[in-house]
């Protein structure tokens, strides 16, 4: 019992420093340790791809769909830049705010259900509904889509977040979409982010950038 408590205390103590360290020395090992300590779902290789792209252009404007245990990492990576998190789960938003002191998140209501993904494909007027004024107020350099939930029928699904990301891709943003092993993410990426903008896939993460943009 005591050993477990000590382990937990050490883990808690190392969480923050591990984020700073992996941004200083970014490699598979530092990221693998950091994500384990922080319980991040994106894996080390996926994180490395995103970090390597953003490091080239920071401070920048970074839009992240989904608050998570990785939020501290994105704020730290883009220190001095503009980072905005988009979250639809109020309980989770309040918890993450409290845990990490995040004050740059907005609450949205997607108003969709995963089951509607096929019918929504032909409804750009619905997919393009403004989610939050703060999202449309900026021309984002990077967009990371790892939300909303899309793993059960009742979940909102990522139709609107991918559609929104596609609009910023057209304006020059680099876009990352996670969970592209799933039918909806795969389909919406193919339709809206388009194959000719596809740059690479690492694990379940796809990277899109318009042709002609500096790499
Ligand atoms: C798929 S998770 C990914 C988070 C992060 N990018 C990562 O790799 O750890 C993002 C979404 O899942 C939901 N979520 C994540 N963890 C949750 C939790 N413990 N309880 C409730 N919802 C959670 C939130 O609504 C959030 O927007």
Cα 93 to ligand 1 centre (Å): 10
Burial degree of 118 (CB within 10 A; 0-12, 13-18, 19+): exposed
Give 61's pLDDT tier (boundaries 50, 70, 90). Answer: very high
**CB 67 less than 6 A from any atom of ligand 1:** yes
**Domain at 57-208: CATH architecture:** 3-Layer(aba) Sandwich (3.40)
pLDDT (tens digit per residue) in 117-143? 999 999 999 999 999 999 999 999 999
**CB-based contact 154:147 (threshold 8 Å):** no
Average confidence (pLDDT) over 63-72 = 97
User: Which of 65, 149, 151, 181 should be mutated for ligand 1, with most atoms under 8 A from CB?
Assistant: 149
pLDDT score of 107 more than 80: yes
The H or E element that residue 52 is part of is: helix 44-55
User: What does the alpha-carbon distance between residue 75 and residue 100 come to, in Å, rounded to a whole number?
Assistant: 10
Average confidence (pLDDT) over 137-159 = 96
Average confidence (pLDDT) over 51-62 = 96
**CB 106 less than 6 A from any atom of ligand 1:** no
**CB 64 less than 6 A from any atom of ligand 1:** no
- Give the per-residue pLDDT at 211: 80
Q: Parse the chain into domains and list their residue ranges.
A: 57-208
User: What does the alpha-carbon distance between residue 112 and residue 155 come to, in Å, rounded to a whole number?
Assistant: 8
**CB 34 less than 6 A from any atom of ligand 1:** no
- Give the per-residue pLDDT at 214: 62
- Taking the CA of residue 66 as reference, the ligand 1 atom at the shortest distance is 27
Least reliable range by pLDDT among 5-9, 112-116, 165-169, 198-202: 5-9
- Give the per-residue pLDDT at 212: 73
**CB 179 less than 6 A from any atom of ligand 1:** no
User: Which of 43, 92, 97 should be mutated for ligand 1, with most atoms under 8 A from CB?
Assistant: 92
| Sign for the pseudo-dihedral over CA of 200, 205, 211, 213 | negative
Q: Strands, E, within 100-171: which ranges? A: 105-107, 142-145
Identify the three-state secondary structure at position 136: helix
Cα 2 to ligand 1 centre (Å): 30
- Taking the CA of residue 91 as reference, the ligand 1 atom at the shortest distance is 21
**CB 92 less than 6 A from any atom of ligand 1:** yes
- Give the per-residue pLDDT at 213: 67
Give 206's pLDDT tier (boundaries 50, 70, 90). Answer: very high
- Give the per-residue pLDDT at 7: 87
The H or E element that residue 51 is part of is: helix 44-55
For residue 148, say if its preceding peptide bond is cis, omega within 30 degrees of 0.
yes
Average confidence (pLDDT) over 6-14 = 89
Fill in the DSSP letter of residue 185: H
Whose CA is closest to atom 20 on ligand 1?
A: 92
End-to-end CA separation in angstroms for the chain? 51
Percent pLDDT > 90 in the chain is 91
User: Which of 46, 72, 146 should be mutated for ligand 1, with most atoms under 8 A from CB?
Assistant: 146
pLDDT score of 14 more than 70: yes
Phi-psi region of 111 (alpha: psi -120 to 50; beta: other; left: phi over 0): left
* Beta-sheet pairing, 82-87 with 105-107: parallel
């Amino acid at each position: 019992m005591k050993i477990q408590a000590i382990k937990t205390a050490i883990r808690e103590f190392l969480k923050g420093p591990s984020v700073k360290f992996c941004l200083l020395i970014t490699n598979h090992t530092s990221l693998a340790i950091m994500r384990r300590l922080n319980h991040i779902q994106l894996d080390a290789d996926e994180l490395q791809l995103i970090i390597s792209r953003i490091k080239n252009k920071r401070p920048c404007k970074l839009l992240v769909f989904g608050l998570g245990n990785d939020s501290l990492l994105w704020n730290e990576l883009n220190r001095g830049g503009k980072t905005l998190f988009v979250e639809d789960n109020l309980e989770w938003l309040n918890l993450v705010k409290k845990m990490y002191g995040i004050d740059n998140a907005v609450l949205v209501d997607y108003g969709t259900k995963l089951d509607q993904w096929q019918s929504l494909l032909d409804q750009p007027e619905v997919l393009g509904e403004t989610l939050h004024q703060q999202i449309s107020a900026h021309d984002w350099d990077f967009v990371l889509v790892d939300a909303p939930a899309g793993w059960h029928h009742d979940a909102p699904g990522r139709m609107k977040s991918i559609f929104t990301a596609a609009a910023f891709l057209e304006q020059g943003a680099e876009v990352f979409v996670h969970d592209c092993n799933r039918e909806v993410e795969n389909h919406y990426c193919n339709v809206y982010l388009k194959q000719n903008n596809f740059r690479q896939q690492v694990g379940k993460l796809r990277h899109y950038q318009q042709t002609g943009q500096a790499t």
